[in-house]
Amino acid sequence: MSLDRFGRNINYLRISLTDKCNLRCVYCMPEDITFRPRAELLQDDEIDRLVRIFAELGFHKFRLTGGEPTVRANVVDIVGRIAATPGVQTVAMTTNGLLLDKLARPLANAGLSRVNVSIDTLNPEKFRKLTRWGDVEEVWAGIHAAEEAGLGVKLNSVVVRNYNDKEDVVDIARLTLFQSWQVRFIEMMPFGDVSDFQQAGIVSQEELMVTISAELGPMQRVDDGRLDGEAQLYQLEEAPGQIGFISSVTQPFCASCTRARLTADGRLRLCLLREKEVDLMTPLRNSASDDQMKAIIEEGIWHKPWGHKLGEDVIPLNRVMSEIGG
Ligand code: SAM
Ligand code: SF4
């Protein structure tokens, strides 16, 4: 078990498989971003070793993210090896869905159990504008392929003021009236180079709930407001699906946080919204033993921060979101 100094049991690792992406969402990365050379990223055998070490430290849930995880070479084999690691109970993925049409079945066969697919609007033109060139039809093809392959599917939408904060949010929430899907609205978070844009565009959960209820009627809390992961869940009347809100900015959920993040370049990121990281790549490439790696990880976890400091204008600037993975 990996405990931090606040008594939280940290057992969920989100691994960024690559900083690269086949889209350039406006809230995530600048259009002219330069990606890291491949040699600076964790290699397949390094990921395998770290997963085994984290599993031995009590981590049992793993989520693969990016950039876009499906553009990583050998992603299916990587999933297969993680799923087969003793102690690993769940392997999930967060993806833009563009390549799921082809990859959903092999990923499911390799042991992936769930995907969270990002879709910020159902409107093709707005989707293109938000992602800079994406085709929303390809995302739908990916979502359907994931369902057919038996993967659990949740939809994620980041809400950006003046892009998708009104009818788009309502259209996505309306999906829950017809499908048993969970759709989750994510408050935009400020990072690195794009933080000015992000801060101006944040739409709070409170505002979103007013927008949705005005069109679709009242929402009831699910499970007395108990968090599902990081999401507060609600349901429209008689809806088979659920609406989640991930409100890291206005309603942080630090007390129930169980996660740590591994960046594609091998840093252990202890909180999404804080710059603190522990370098695992250097000891890994300098032949540190398993026991030495475990001591470094445990020390890092112990000092996992509590709370963001956005209210004091302290914004994490050392990375953009695509390098951390969400
Ligand atoms: N490419 C994959 C995708 O889009 O799902 C995985 C990586 S992406 C960085 C992970 C999640 O972070 C996505 O749901 C994305 O919408 C979200 N995200 C990106 N930038 C964000 C920001 N500034 N604030 C909040 N969420 C953000
Ligand atoms: Fe790529 Fe995901 Fe970032 Fe969009 S949110 S640019 S799909 S990494």
Q: Is the CB of 26 under 6 A from ligand 2?
A: no
Looking at ligand 1, which residue's alpha carbon is closest to its atom 20?
28
Q: Considering the domain boundaries, does residue 148 fall inside one?
A: yes
Tell me if 26 is assigned to some domain. yes
Asked, for residue 107, whether it belongs to a domain, the answer is yes
Nearest-atom index, ligand 2, CA of 22: 1
Domain residues for 123?
A: 12-157+254-323
pLDDT at 264 > cutoff 90: yes
Domain with residue 74: its CATH number is 3.20.20.70
Average pLDDT across the chain, whole number: 92
Number of domains in the chain: 1
What is the pLDDT, as a whole number, of residue 311?
66
Evaluate: CB of 16 within 6 angstroms of ligand 1.
Answer: no
pLDDT in tens, 62-117: 999 999 999 999 999 999 999 999 999 999 999 999 999 999 999 999 999 999 99
C-beta 17 within 6 A of ligand 2: no
Q: Exposure string (b/e) for 133-171, b if CB count within 10 Å is 16 or more?
A: ebebebbebbbebbbebebebbbbbbbbeebbbeebbee
Report yes or no: 169 and 157 within 8 Å, Cβ to Cβ: yes
Give the least confident one: 264-273, 285-294, 304-313.
304-313
Instruction: Name the residue of 168, 172, 186 to mutate for ligand 1: max ligand atoms within 8 A of Cβ.
Output: 186
Pocket test of ligand 1: the residue of 19, 22, 25, 164 to mutate, having most ligand atoms within 8 Å of its CB, is 25
Kindly indicate the confidence band of residue 197, based on its pLDDT and cuts at 50, 70 and 90.
low
In this prediction, residue 40 carries a pLDDT of 95
Answer yes or no: is 67 within a domain: yes
**Mean pLDDT value of segment 125-145:** 97
